[in-house]
A = this chain, B = another copy of it.
Amino acid sequence: MSPTDPLAPEPVDAPIEAPLLTARGIRKSFGDVEVLKSIDLTVPRGNVVALIGPSGSGKTTVLRSLNGLEVPEAGTVEFSGGDVVDFAQAPSKRQLASLRDRSAMVFQQFNLFPHRTVLENVIEGPVQVQKRPKAEAIADARALLERVGLGAKADAYPFELSGGQQQRVGIVRALALKPQLLLFDEPTSALDPELVGDVLDVIRELAAEGWTMVLVTHELTFASHVADTIVFMDGGVVVESGPPSEVLQNPREARTKQFLHRLLDR
């Protein structure tokens, strides 16, 4: 009943060549301030895309737009084999839900449900939303928790866990939905420096197993190891993007250089 490898992503039917996700011309303002100024983003299946950039550059807003937590004023998001969601046309609830069904998000602040145990947190989506049999959901959840080293914590409440453990539960809660795309928003920045390693290790494994991910991070060394593509944003635009060897080691743009210098030189 439980899958042989709980960490492996669900197979998808679409042809292997099409990118899993294509976002085009995403624009978003808060009040008078235009925070995203026509962002394009392509996420090939099985790839890891890392968004980097200064605070306030719009990284979080991009991520939240991809799963409809933020509704941009313009732009399209398309999952391979799914509808084109056109934000200029005021997307329906169904369309936003379809974005959320295909992706799962891991938050900076974890956002676990404090009133539910670890196991209950993980099976909430599969059982309540996806209507999967509870026994099956529990078996899967236990296998996943085991994989991230939290088998013994299934019945603990979130407050009983360290930050790193909570974030691993957050990741498992996302994985349990078997989404096509994982979104991570600075998953380690609310953690004590020493706990960061555990969570990065889990993400590293997920990347190795072929999950498609978009992640926002300040951990440049980590990003350079794990990402296929680095996207550097500033002031609501993509300044440059490419493989880590280019963007991190040999940035073309002055703004990228300045940013990397600031963050690395300490």
B-binding residues in A (CB < 8 A): 54-55, 189, 192-197, 200, 218-219, 221-222, 262-263, 266
Contact = CB atoms under 8 A, between A and B. Distances in A.
Contacts of A55: 192, 194-195
Contacts of A192: 55, 189, 218
Given A194-B218, A194-B262, A194-B263, 9 more contacts: A55-B192, A189-B192, A192-B218, A193-B263, A196-B266, A197-B262, A200-B266, A221-B266, A222-B266
A104 B202 CA distance: 41
Contacts of A189: 192-193
List the number of copies, as a whole number: 2
Contact of A54 (B194, B218, B222): B194
Given A189-B193, A193-B189, A219 B54 contact: no
A218 B191 CA distance: 12
A59 to B, nearest CB: 12
A228 to B, nearest CB: 19
A148 B124 CA distance: 49
A266 B222 CA distance: 7
Contact of A219 (B194, B263, B266): B266
